[in-house]
């Protein structure tokens, strides 16, 4: 597998630290093979609280590399910390050393064993994007306008749709160069000028995130490095979209329908966005969800345990798995935020391929003493991973 380093941009706000521990770290330890794990946490250099947080995180499993970024010129992001975070995504060479960076959030929650095949296909990183009908009308319209502004092409893909978002670091550097040539000005000046969209759409409101950095990146590689990535494009809400709510900055329905079918094959996702998910057909979304409180803690615990039971086998750990619905299709593999892909009949066969890869990885780990599911000894795997019933 190519060199991959996960990058997590956060700060010392207790909300994000709690999400890091309860969602990201807990599920990472369970589902990401430890011998393939490289993690860098990115914090703010001028914040004393961030330095305190960084020291604590660096001493706790998996003992990530901690990098502190200088604030730079505040006018570039108008002093807005969210936009400062977006800007930092475009400079991954400042904090990772691997060939590929995998962007994650503090509320990224892994829900299945992360196999090399989920991350890469024949050395090409997987991109799982949405195409079709817009959702969150005002936000998505604003996001696609900004993507079109940076690239000069209509937005074909919406890529706030999976984690980790894996990109070749060199391609992000080339993206900055592309934007500078297009505008004949420094990238920072272009970034600053893109604030006009935010002011146009959300002036006088509480919203301030008129950008999807992942969409800018994945549309760039879609247009200019397509054969170097493994694209899986999910039509939303399903494959019957005929152009409803299409935006001016979005590619036309004819373009979307005309995309080669080889790019529209479903592929299991390895994570969910823990503050935005579907539960019993209801979309639960709130930036301020406290994942440590009910009903969210039990709902998310069930999704993690479900992934363990599908991986290790319901019969191998009956006490830990008896309360988990044993459906043929592991629906969580095909759900992210408010959409799922289960309308596509190919999901089941792709799931079977995934769990064949999982079983191969488990057998290899058992045979060679490699840690998995956060443990080194497989003799008492059921009770060591989940000491109590759900």
In terms of phi and psi (left: phi > 0; alpha: psi -120 to 50; beta: otherwise), the region of 152 is: left
291 within some domain:
yes
Strand, helix or coil for residue 102:
strand
Q: At what angle do helices 213-224 and 137-151 cross, to 10 degrees?
A: 50
Q: Dump pLDDT digits (tens) for 183-217.
A: 999 999 999 999 888 777 766 565 667 889 999 99
Q: Mean of the pLDDT values across residues 230-253?
A: 90
- The pLDDT tens digits for 327-347 are 899 999 999 998 999 999 999
CB 48 within 8 A of CB 12: no
136 pLDDT higher than 70: no
Which residues are CB-contacts of 375 (< 8 A; sequence separation ≥ 6)?
A: 381, 384, 385
**How many C-beta atoms lie closer than 10 Å to residue 282's C-beta?**
9
Q: What is the mean pLDDT of residues 11-36?
A: 95
pLDDT of residue 165: 98
Is 250 a domain residue?
Answer: yes
pLDDT mean over 139-157? 92
- Structural domain includes residue 27: yes
Evaluate if residue 388 carries a pLDDT over 80: no
Percent pLDDT > 70 in the chain is: 97
CA-closest candidate to residue 264, choices 226, 234, 229, 222 = 234
Q: pLDDT tier at 80 (50, 70, 90 boundaries)?
A: confident
| Euclidean distance between CA atoms 73 and 300, whole angstroms | 39
Tell me whether residue 342 is in a domain.
Answer: yes
* Longest Cα–Cα distance in the chain: 63
- Residue 282: the pLDDT is 79
Confidence of residue 75 (pLDDT cuts 50, 70, 90): confident
Asked whether residue 203 is assigned to any structural domain, the reply reads yes
The single residue listed with the structure tokens 């001028």 is 46
> Which residue in this structure is represented by tokens 């934007």?
179
Checking if the pLDDT of 137 tops 70, the result is no
Residue range 274-321, pLDDT digits in tens: 998 878 777 887 767 788 889 889 999 999 999 999 999 999 999 999
Between 79 and 286, residue with greater pLDDT: 79
Mean pLDDT for the stretch of residues 46-61: 97
With contact defined as beta carbons under 8 Å apart, do 137 and 245 qualify? yes
- Sort strands 124-132 and 120-121 into parallel, antiparallel or unpaired: antiparallel
| The three-state (H, E, C) secondary structure of 56-100, written as one string | HHHCCCCCCEEEEECCCCHHHCCCCHHHHHHHHHCCHHHCCCCCE
Angle at 20 between CA 385 and CA 16, to 5 degrees: 150
Question: What is the residue whose two structure tokens read 């809400």?
Answer: 237
Give me the domain span that covers residue 347: 4-375
Residue 208: strand pairing partners: none
Residue 50 maps to a domain: yes
Number of structural domains found in the chain: 1
What mean pLDDT, rounded, does the chain reach?
Answer: 92
* pLDDT value of residue 74: 84
Q: Which of 50-59, 203-212, 232-241 has the highest mean pLDDT?
A: 50-59
Rounded to two decimals, what is the model's pTM?
0.95
Q: What confidence score (pLDDT) does residue 292 get? A: 85
Other Cβ atoms within 10 Å of 287 Cβ, number: 8
In a domain, 54, yes or no: yes
In a domain, 383, yes or no: no
Cα dihedral value 265, 269, 273, 278, nearest 10: 70
Give residue 195's Cα distance to chain centre: 24
Note the pLDDT of residue 293. 87
Average pLDDT for residues 160-171, to the nearest whole number?
97
User: Helices (DSSP H) in the chain: which residue ranges?
Assistant: 14-19, 26-31, 48-58, 81-89, 116-119, 137-151, 169-183, 187-193, 195-202, 213-224, 253-257, 296-312, 318-321, 347-368, 381-385
The per-residue pLDDT for 204 is 58
């Amino acid at each position: 597998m190519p060199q991959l380093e996960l990058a997590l941009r956060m700060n010392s706000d207790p909300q994000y630290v709690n999400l890091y521990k309860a969602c990201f770290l807990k599920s990472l330890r369970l589902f990401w093979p430890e011998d393939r794990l490289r993690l860098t946490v990115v914090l703010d250099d001028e914040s004393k609280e961030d330095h305190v947080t960084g020291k604590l995180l660096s001493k706790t499993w998996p003992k990530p590399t901690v990098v502190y970024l200088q604030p730079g010129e505040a006018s570039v992001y108008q002093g807005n910390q969210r936009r400062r975070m977006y800007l930092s995504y475009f400079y991954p060479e400042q904090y990772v050393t691997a060939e590929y960076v995998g962007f994650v959030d503090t509320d990224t929650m892994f829900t299945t064993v992360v196999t090399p095949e989920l991350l890469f296909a024949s050395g090409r990183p997987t991109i799982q994007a949405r195409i079709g009908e817009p959702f969150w009308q005002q936000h998505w319209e604003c996001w696609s306008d900004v993507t079109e502004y940076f690239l000069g092409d209509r937005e074909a893909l919406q890529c706030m749709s999976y984690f980790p978002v894996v990109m070749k670091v060199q391609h992000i550097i080339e993206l900055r160069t592309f934007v500078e040539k297009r505008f004949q000005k420094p990238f920072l000046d272009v970034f600053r000028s893109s604030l006009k969209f935010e002011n146009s759409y959300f002036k006088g409101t509480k919203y301030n995130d008129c950008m999807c950095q992942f969409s800018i990146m994945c549309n760039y590689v879609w247009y200019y490095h397509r054969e170097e990535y493994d694209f899986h494009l999910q039509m939303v809400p399903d494959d019957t979209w005929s152009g409803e709510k299409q935006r001016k900055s979005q590619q036309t329905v004819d373009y979307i329908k005309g995309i080669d079918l080889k790019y529209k094959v479903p592929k299991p996702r390895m994570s969910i966005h823990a503050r935005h998910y579907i539960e019993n057909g209801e979309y639960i979304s709130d930036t301020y969800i406290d994942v440590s409180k009910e009903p969210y803690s039990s709902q998310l615990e069930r999704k993690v345990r479900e992934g363990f039971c599908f991986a290790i086998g319901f019969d191998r750990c009956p006490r830990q798995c008896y309360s988990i619905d044993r459906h043929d299709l592991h629906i969580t593999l095909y759900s992210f935020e408010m959409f799922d892909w289960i309308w596509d009949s190919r999901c089941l066969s792709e799931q079977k391929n995934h769990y064949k890869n999982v079983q191969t990885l488990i057998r290899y780990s058992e045979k060679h003493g490699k840690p998995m599911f956060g443990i080194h000894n497989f003799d008492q795997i059921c009770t060591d991973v989940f000491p109590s019933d759900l």
